[in-house]
Structure formats: structure tokens, C-alpha cells
A and B are shown apart, each in its own frame.
Chain A
Amino acid sequence: MSTQVNRLGQGGRIDRNKPIRFWYDDKAYEGFSGDTLASALIANGVTLVGRSFKYHRPRGIYSAGPEEPNALVQLESGAYTEPNRRATEIQLYDGLHASSQNCWPSVGFDIGVVASWVSRVLPAGFYYKTFMWPSSLWMTYEKYIRRAAGLGKSPTDVDPDFYDKTYAHCDVLVIGGGPAGLQAACAAGRAGARVVLIDEKNEFGGALLSDTAQINDQSADRWVSERIAELQRMTEVRLLPRTTATGYYDYNFVVANERVNEHIGPNTAGKAVKERLWKIRAKQVVLATGGIERPLVFADNDRPGVMLASAIRSYINRYAVAPSRRITLFTNNDSAYRTAMDAKKAGIEVHIVDVRKDPQGALVQQTRELRIRIMEHSTITGIEYSRGRIRKVQVMEIDESGKGVTGQVQTIDCEVVGVSGGWTPTVHLFSQAKGRLKFVDEQHCFVPDRPWTNNPVSVAGSCGGSDQLNDCLAEGFDAGCSAAQAAGFDTGNLALDATSTDPVPGSPRPIWILPCDHPIGRGRKKHFHELHNDSTVGDIELAAREGFESVEHLKRYTTTGMGTDQGKTSSVNALAVMADIRNTTIQEVGTTTFRPPYTPLSFGSIVGHDRRELFMQRRKTPMHSWHDRNGAVYEDVGDWKRPRYFPNMGEDMHAAVQRECVSVRQNCGLLDATTLGKIDLQGKDSIRLLNMLYTNAWDQLAPGRCRYGLMLNEHGMVFDDGVTTCLGENHYHMTTTTGGAARVMNWIEEWLQTEWPDMEVYATSVTEQWAVAALSGPNAGKVLGKLTDHPLDERSMPFMTMAHADVAGIPARIFRISFTGELSFEINVPARYGLALWEALMEAGDENGLCPYGTETMHVLRAEKGFIIVGQDTDGTVTPMDLGMDWIVSRKKSDFLGRRSFSRADTSREGRKQLVGLLTEDPKFVIPEGAHVVENLRPSPPMEMLGHVSSSYMSPNVGRSIALALLKDGFNRKGQTLDVPLMDGSSQKVTVTDTVFLP
């Protein structure tokens, strides 16, 4: 095991009594409790963590937070594996396994490095220009490109972990637990508001955890602990550490991901929740999201060992690791001087290269007093890098314009370069919430300007551009007070009680793109403005030359900001480069829109419990257990599981369906029709409603009588059908198609509520209340007769009537209606008796050879008779007349839904597509449904189509294949012979017939 060579002797928020063993690239290391994977790797002297995306250049850890562009690892393996996790965000746990990605065969030696030798032929937009044409070959290239450029590998096994979701409501949601956020949460909490405080790190404190500042003349550390203790005592305050606000949506709806047990490792499966997705509605939001340090862009600034200056400070102060004992800081502002002093105090040799001439801030003075060498008015012009390490940096004097260098090259021996180009406020959430940003010249950054109407939000601290701790504390307090006030709480007696004395900073020099000894974009040295996607300043210049000047075009052309880090460190520098090229301001160039999620979100967290049956329920009828026991093969109809057929031993679908079809026609069969939609209609205006909903007339329907109806939309097109029965005065039982049940219910409610509120009709869905067994076939009466005393003969119970009677001792409604054309009884019983009814019928029918049948047989049987299935033989463009069902359209009624559309020019014209039967030349051939029918067959498409086959089956009762089709001018084509071209290039001749195959 390696020793922690870079661990400092003291300090840090780590527990040296709790060593943790972990593996990186199959090598064992040791870190401490409190480490991140990144800090532990640095402690162990691991400098290379990956290869870059495009040029496969070696890369090292760059940051200490969510902005990390380089250190992406594959965390764990097998079912637990997660790709593209940032080492800077992974809390170290015992037994952690991680591996580098995007490098083969190893991080040290990478085959893909040849890509960097040929980098001159890999400019921005390269893939689009080279591989997208000819488009037919893209499919071939894509595979190889994806493999070469691939990031991590997604897991192939089912995730065994548990994920949870929670909804929460609060008065004030504070995002970010640094000085401003803590102040805001405390102020709002003291006022009595219900507060949720979330922070992405495992500890609250934000930047203070990496700082050496004092608040109220005590260490910031102590102040943070006191604030957390205070908040924990408040019953209306909820603290959520390890929680990232990933999305900010309309009406203050914030989605946050809590990594509940991730820090324990993947061994909690079945025992604990791994991640929890919070969906929070807040009356007021306070954004205290802080800022991210901006890099400087200089020659070969992607070398492992180049890091953000603030990250170095974090590693030293928070994690007690020194990335190196020799550090050069490179800056255009005062911020890096804090790092310089802390590093010096930790015993590190420090040099500063400052692009400013004669910097004057208080921090600079303090640094000078520590005898740290400052090279003013200078820039790093190159990095000497060999065998995985920076050896030296080259420094030259920068000229007044900031675009050239002069004088002699000097060198500094060092292994790590800390860069600081100032701070970029973390405005992502504000922007996601449609807030407007403005560019502030003094601070050279975008800050929140105007929030969106529907998102009451205030901003505090560095998120708003403040860089002084004292300001952050005051702004946080104010924001907390005003948010609590706006949410209805009195803050009159609250007073600011936290202050800090900050050194007065000097002005920054607003340049970020530093010159070297050759023009940027030429020569061997590369200036990377975007590390994650390997995009250089030269790429932006190319984009500008080719006319991709708008910020949205620039982004897509160079892929800047399109990596999984969303350009957290790169976007403003890209804008600065473009502004420079176009000779305008960053404000003029503008920003792209920030989109959720702020940091990547696991699919597990988004999905939560919505898996398998909890995602998609399976509706089962009361008879389902019988179907299961008797080998039913199911078909999904909506959410329902319906038996499709019941195969005997050794039967395939075709054999089973043929047998079932013959049984029903010659003997009798039993179908589970429970899934049909059922709506109970009551009220004195029920007939008025039925007359408007259906095309036929309903005035004369006596109690106990049934009638079939077609339902149209206002376009005049068929959208549902079914039988409605009069149960008594002002009481009707409507049935709908299985798939259309909810649609019809909505349709009825819509018209009753919006257009006809004067109608007194009560519609209730009773689909689930009734179980239905449809007994069909010449012996149906014989079988049912054994179970009921009710007379079933033609006179007592004619076609299209309904009777109340006991069946097998169960109170039932018997409907003599038919979807097969055979003698049929649809027996409805309360759902809880469904199974008993079914079993009684099967037993009673045993000696008559009663055959259970499924939906496939039902389809064949109805097609033999030319009965339509709405949704299969219709598609929303078909009128009753197109179906040859003029007989059901009332001529007498003055109005019904859709009627007026019949006389529209297109609906009434000749030659519309009409439903006809088709018989194939080869009676054994079953045309695939969806096949096209043509008049003039050609050797290959295009051919003018007349229409398509909507239903097609082998019918044992007709003794041949049958089909239904919607054909242009179909009614006039009866008797014609047409062609059906098939996918394999052959074709089948068909004769157009009537739709009734079995009279």
C-alpha cells in the first residue's frame, strides 16, 4: 500500500484516527475519514487521473468541487457501477473501488494519444464536417468514434439499490450552506419560518471550511458549528447536507438530490435508501450558491498539476494535503494570494506570477511580508512537462496590451500551478428559473439581475458577485429576513449579529487569455479554455472565422459547455475569447441558457420507486387466477392483461386460435369481457345526452332493451362504439371499448360540465364494479340454462334485451347481445363474484365442450361477420359512412356530435377511403396487417396506394384467409382485383368483397 506522501502533518477536517482503505485502478491506497476520493488521491501522490476526450492528453485533478472537468472516474463495478463520477464529489468510504476511464490500455500509456499527434486534423466541428457526409456512412463511423471518445461505461445489470422520492413544502428554501446561506437560514428560522437548508457537501459551511477567516473574532469553524447547532434546535428547520439542487422550475419548484447513504458505499442494498429526490415547493427561495473560480487560459494549461488556486487552498486547509511542495500561483487578482499565504504557512515553497503591474491590495502586502516571490506584470508562457509531472514553468513579461510578451524567458521549478482568473457567480439555478442575468463590469462577471415573475427568489453572497465575507454575512441575513417577511413572518426584532473584517482587495486585471511566444492557435502549445471537451481558443477562432459567432452556435460548434460539467469553469472564458475576436464586450456576446440538472443526476434517483409494477400497473380481472391456472397467453390492452388464447398442450397460437374459433361456432365458448368500459348513467336528461353522443336515436329504448351506438367527435369521425342498455326509467348502462373507457368518460364529463350544465345526468365509471363473462355459440343457451331459472328462449329473451336473474346463485344482469354473430349471453355480476361465475360456467359447460377463448379468437370471429374494431379498422379519419354503417346514422335527429361535419366538402366527397373485405388469390395466405393495396403494381416503391389492410386473419369457419381494408373509393371497387406488394418484394393478388364473410 502506498503511503500518504502529500498528507500534511496537521490540520484539516479529516479524522486521522479513521484510516480508510480504497482502490484506484486496482491499486490499494489509504486515506482518512473526511477525504474525498480526489483529496485521498492527491494525498497519495496520484497526479494522472484520465485522458482528455478528443486529444487523449493526460489530465489531473483540477478542482475540489462539482466544477471538476478532468477527474471523472468509473465508481464501483458490476450492478453498482456508475460512470463519469467526479472524484472531487465522492466521499471516501471503506472499500471504495474506482477506476479511470477514457484511456486504454491504461492511464499512463494510452493508444489514443496518437490522436494528439494528428491533432491538426481534428479541428472543431471535425466530426460534423468529416463524418456526417455521406450520411449513409455515418452509421459505420459512429460505432468507432463512440468507442474511441467514450466516457464511462453504463451498467448493464439491474441496479440493486433503493431510491426514494419525497415532496416537501416550506416558507423559505435556502440553497447553499456557506456564510450567506447559513445567515439566511438562521434569520428566517429565527422569524419562525419553515426553512429547508440544502448544501451539496457533506458538511455545511461552504467556502468557510477551506478558509482561515474569522467571524465575530472567533474562528469561522466555530461560528459554523454554532449556527448548525442553532438550526438543529429549531423544529421548523430541516437541514439537508449531501443534497444538490439540480433543477429550479416554475413557481419555486426545486428538485434536489440527496445522496443519503452514498458515503457508506454500495453495500446497503435492501437495507437503506441510496439517494432521495426531493421535490420542494418554496414560498421564497434564497440562492446562496457561491461562486466558482475562473481559470486563466495559457499555453498548455491542461497539464496535470495545473489546478484552480482555490482548490489548492481547499486541499491544504480542509483536507490537509499539499498537491506539491513547490507551487506556482498564476493570477490576475488578489484571491490567489490567500492560497499563497496558506501554502507558505503549510511549509510549501510558493511563487506568484501576477499579470498585474504593481498590485496593491492588502492581501498582496501581507504576502510580501511573508517573503513570497511575486513576479509582476508577467505571464506563464509554457510548461515543461515530462514523465507525468510538471518540471518547470516558463515566465515572460507581458506587454501593456496584454496580447504580447517581451524580454527573456525565466523559469520556476515547480510541480503544481494554481490559477485564478477571479470568481464566476454560480448563477445556474437563477438562470434555470428564467431569471435575467447582467454583466457587471467592475467584477467582470454575470450576476443575477431580475427574477422571473413566478419565482420569488433572492440572491445572497458570492452568487450575487460579492467577494467579501462581511458582505456575504450581511446579504445572507437580509435575504433571510426579506424572504421570511414575504412569506408572512415578522422579522422586526431580528438584528445582524455576524461580522468579519476583510482586507481591502486590489483591482483585478481583466484578461484571461494569456499570450505566449507564438500566436494562440498556432504552434505546438495549446490554450485550452475547456478541459472537459478538449476545446481550445484556436477552436473558437475557427468557429468565428466560419461564421459561428452567436453564442448558441459557438457552443454547439466547439462543444464548449456541453460536457457533463456544463462548462462550469469554461463558459465565461469562451465568451471572453469570442468578445475579443469580435471586438465587443462579453455582455454583447451574451450567455447560453443554463439547463437542469446543475450536476448529473442518476437515473435511479429520477426513477425512484417507479419501477416494474409500480411504474406500469397491471390491471387484472377477477377471473385472472383461473386464466393463469389454465395456461392463458396474455395480450396487453391498455393496462389490462387479457387472455389472448388458451393453448392446449403442444399448441402454438395459430393452432389454438383455429380450434377456439371452430368451437365457438359449432359449440360454445367463454370470453372474459370484464375489461369493456362500463359507465352508469342516471338522471332525467340521460336520453338527451345519449341522443347527442350517439349517431342513432334513443328516445324509444324501453327498460330491458339494448342498443348499439357509434360515438363521433365533432369532426364527424368514429372514436368509440358499444352497447347501451336501459336499466329503468332514467337509468342506463353504457359499454365502451376496453381502450376507450377513460376517453369516453372524459368526453361525457367534458360536455356535461362545459356545454350542457343544464342537463341532469350523473355519469359514473363502473368498469371495475362488474365482471363480465361472454358465453357465445349455438349451445350457449343450454349451458346457461343449467345455472339460471330465467327463461332464455327467443320469445322470453330476444336479441338485444337484458334481464336481471340469478346465475349460479349470483345476482346477475344477462345481456343477450353478440360480438360473434352467434347466440350470446354477456353475464355481468358484481366483480367479487367474477371468478365464481366463471368457474360455475366452465363446470356447467364441461359436457357441452365449452371452450374458453381469448381476444385473438374474438378478433377472428368478429371479422368473419364484418364487425369493426374501433381503433383497428378506424383511425380517427373514418366516418360511419366510410364503414358502410349509414344504417346507424339517424336522419331524423336534428343534431348530434359530429353530424354537421358530414356535409363538409371533404367528408361528403366521393372516393373517400372505405371499409371493404379482401380475399387473397392464395386462400392460405394471410396478408400482414398494415400492408398497402395498390392498383398499379410496380417492381419497387414508390407506388400509388389505395389504402391499407386493417384486419387480417386465417378463418377456419370461412375456410380461408380473410381481411378488411380501408380503400379509396372502396365501395365501387367490389369485385375488382388489386395487388398487395409485400416487404419481401413479392406481391399477392386480392379481390375486393363485402365485409361480411360468414353470413
Chain B
Amino acid sequence: MLIIECPWCGKRDQSEFTAHGEAHIARPGDPYKLSDEEWGDYVFFRKNPKGLHYERWVHSHGCRRWFNVARCTITDHIYATYKPGDVRPEVEE
């Protein structure tokens, strides 16, 4: 069971949070400029890396805020948590 640091509330138990997959997938500004394939990438395709993963979590049983987590999928080590819109932090694996 992870301990996750919510950027608003601090360190809390994993059971307060919900994971929502890969982070930093911006919704295309003008979807109609995208080919079907590009749009399909946005809607359907997600990375599944072994190692560092930037992902979205929401503090669903807490402040209900969304934020991002840099987590290692092998060790479950959390390198950083940060607010949406913040620059993706570079971390050393």
C-alpha cells in the first residue's frame, strides 16, 4: 500500500486515491486538424512502461483534486508528485 503525497493535503494512504493512467496527454486544441490515426492515438493509446511512469491520480476520498505522480512501475517508488499544469519534473531513475 503506497503512501502518496497529495500536493494539497500532504502524505496520505493510497486507499484515499484513485489512479487514472498516463499523464500529460493534452486534449488536442482543434481535434479536426488531426488525422483519424492521431485522434485514435489520443483517445485509445497509452504507454505501459517498465520503470518511470508519469501518471494521473485523484485524491478521491480527500480533497478531490487531480494531480500527477512520477512513479516507478517496477519498484513502486514515487519520485515526485506535482499539480496539473506544473512542468514534468526530471527524475533520476
Contact in complex: A900, B39 (CB < 8 Å): yes
Contact in complex: B43, A715 (CB < 8 Å): yes
Contact of A900 among B32, B56, B84 (CB under 8 A): B32
Binding site for A on B (CB under 8 A): 1-3, 13, 20, 26-27, 30-32, 34, 36, 39-40, 42-44, 56, 58, 60, 64-66, 75-77, 84-85
Q: Mark A741-762, 1 if CB is under 8 A from B, else 0.
A: 0000010011001110100000
- Label chain A's interface by main secondary structure: mixed
With known contacts A454-B77, A895-B31, A249–B36 Cβ distance under 8 A: no
Q: Is A453 part of the contact surface with B, judged by Cβ < 8 Å?
A: yes
Provide a sorted-by-A list of 19 A–B residue pairs whose CB atoms are within 8 angstroms. Answer: A249-B1, A251-B1, A454-B75, A714-B43, A746-B60, A749-B58, A750-B20, A750-B58, A753-B65, A753-B66, A753-B84, A754-B56, A895-B30, A895-B31, A900-B34, A901-B43, A903-B36, A904-B36, A904-B39
Contact in complex: A754, B43 (CB < 8 Å): no
> For this complex, into which size category does the number of interface residues on chain A fall?
20 to 34
CA distance A790 to B42 in the complex (A): 51
Binding site for B on A (CB under 8 A): 249-251, 253, 281, 452-454, 714-715, 746, 749-750, 753-755, 757, 895, 899-901, 903-905
Q: Name the residue of chain B whose CB is nearest to the CB of A898.
A: B43
Contact in complex: B66, A452 (CB < 8 Å): no
Contact in complex: A757, B2 (CB < 8 Å): no
How far does the Cβ of A487 sit from chain B's closest Cβ, in whole Å?
Answer: 15
Contacts of A753 in B (CB 8 A): 65-66, 84
Contact of A904 among B27, B40, B64, B84 (CB under 8 A): B40
Contacts of B34 in A (CB 8 A): 900
CA distance A905 to B36 in the complex (A): 8
Contact in complex: B31, A453 (CB < 8 Å): no
Contact in complex: B31, A899 (CB < 8 Å): yes
Contact of A454 among B20, B27, B44, B76 (CB under 8 A): B76
Q: Name the residue of chain B whose CB is nearest to the CB of A903.
A: B36
Q: Name the residue of chain B whose CB is nearest to the CB of A897.
A: B27
Contact in complex: B36, A749 (CB < 8 Å): no
Contacts of A757 in B (CB 8 A): 84-85
Contacts of A250 in B (CB 8 A): 1-2, 76
Please provide the 10 A-B residue pairs with the shortest distance between their CB atoms, ordered closest to farther: A900-B31, A253-B1, A753-B66, A251-B3, A453-B75, A754-B84, A453-B77, A714-B43, A249-B1, A755-B27
Contacts of A895 in B (CB 8 A): 30-31
CA distance A251 to B76 in the complex (A): 9
Contacts of B30 in A (CB 8 A): 895
CA distance A715 to B40 in the complex (A): 9
Contacts of B64 in A (CB 8 A): 749
Contacts of B40 in A (CB 8 A): 904
CA distance A293 to B3 in the complex (A): 37
Q: Name the residue of chain A whose CB is nearest to the CB of B43.
A: A714
How far does the Cβ of A283 sit from chain B's closest Cβ, in whole Å?
Answer: 11
How far does the Cβ of A752 sit from chain B's closest Cβ, in whole Å?
Answer: 9
CA distance A904 to B58 in the complex (A): 30
CA distance A715 to B31 in the complex (A): 13
Q: Name the residue of chain B whose CB is nearest to the CB of A896.
A: B31
Contacts of A900 in B (CB 8 A): 31-32, 34, 39
Contacts of A251 in B (CB 8 A): 1-3
How far does the Cβ of A270 sit from chain B's closest Cβ, in whole Å?
Answer: 30
Contacts of A903 in B (CB 8 A): 36
How far does the Cβ of B49 sit from chain A's closest Cβ, in whole Å?
Answer: 17
Contacts of A453 in B (CB 8 A): 75, 77
